[in-house]
Structure 1
Amino acid sequence: MKQFEVTFIVDPVLSGDELKSTVDTYTNMLKNEGCKIVAIDEIGLKQLAYDINKRSSGIYYTIEFQSESGEIIAKMELALRRDERIMRFLTVRLDKFGVKYNEDKRAGKIAKVKEKVKAETPKAEQPAPKPSYKKEEKPVEPVAAVEPEEPVNSVETTEGE
């Protein structure tokens, strides 16, 4: 059996019941065509990289399923295009590495590996301060306030010299 994954973004304005009915519509379509649903994953509300239909966020869902042939893909993509609740979608055929990765992710092995790596790596020690090569400056003493001198009222000039 071939394994596929369809990820779609649903309009965030919809209520919880409408979101559930949207996902149920596509899972029922797949089941009616003889596909085996492997996993349904609600990724949740995410910020979009750019606005789609004047929306800056969307609710992401992923349905992973198995099918004997890829004939259902064309029907499903047509339904996704026509559905106004769906902002974007992407259907991918998984190879053996993608299937293994998704199985490990669902089993929790992927997250555990990341936690082990964090636990095994010791915290970086603070490096010793580098010696400074700057000249030591002597502290500057404050200058006493200078009193203004008396203003000069006249200026003498010599003429004709």
Structure 2
Amino acid sequence: MPLYEHVFIMRQDLSNTQAEGLVEHFSAVLTDNGGSVSETEYWGVKTMAYKINKNRKGHYAYLRTDAPATAVQEMERLMRLHDDVMRILTIKVDAHEEGPSAQMQKREERRERR
């Protein structure tokens, strides 16, 4: 099955538990449709470069998945219909990187990678 990476932004007025609950909900949608989620990361509330729907900040989440295209399309369809999700980015990758994403690494570790 193809490998994907998903990043999505949720509204800033959600609590941390509600945002993590949404991440679990969308992970369950993928697994119910025949895919698997290899890793999830909740990046927390971050300031955005520009306002989206009158929001200056948002909860960011990241998923690494191995799922068929139909499962990804269904998850994206449900995300677009959900009022709390503001933006979605899905990228098809050849292989997942080992370890945490660049957002979760400390600055010192990022310098060592170069």
Shorter-chain TM-score: what band? Answer: 0.7 to 0.9
Q: 1:113 to 1:16 in 2, by over 3 A?
A: closer
1:103 aligns with 2:102: no
Q: Partner residue of 1:41?
A: 41
TM-superposed CA distance for 1:17, in Å, is 2.7
Higher strand fraction (1 or 2): 2
- Runs ≥4 residues deviating over 4 A: none
TM-superposed CA distance for 1:91, in Å, is 0.8
Q: Partner residue of 1:91?
A: 90
Unaligned ranges ≥5, structure 1: 118-161
Q: Does 1 or 2 have the higher relative contact order (CA < 8 Å, sep 6+)?
A: 2
Larger radius of gyration: 1
Q: 1:21 to 1:116 in 2, by over 3 A?
A: closer
**Deviation readout 1:52-111 (Å, 9 max, x if unpaired):** 0101011110011102x3111211111010000001011110123xx2xx21546x7xx6
Unaligned ranges ≥5, structure 2: none
TM-superposed CA distance for 1:2, in Å, is 1.2
Q: 1:79 to 1:112 in 2, by over 3 A?
A: same
Coordinate RMSD, CA, aligned: 2.1
**Deviation readout 1:32-53 (Å, 9 max, x if unpaired):** 1121111101112111111001
TM-score in terms of structure 2 length: 0.83
Cα distance in 2, alignment partners of residues 2 and 88 from structure 1: 22
Aligned length: 109
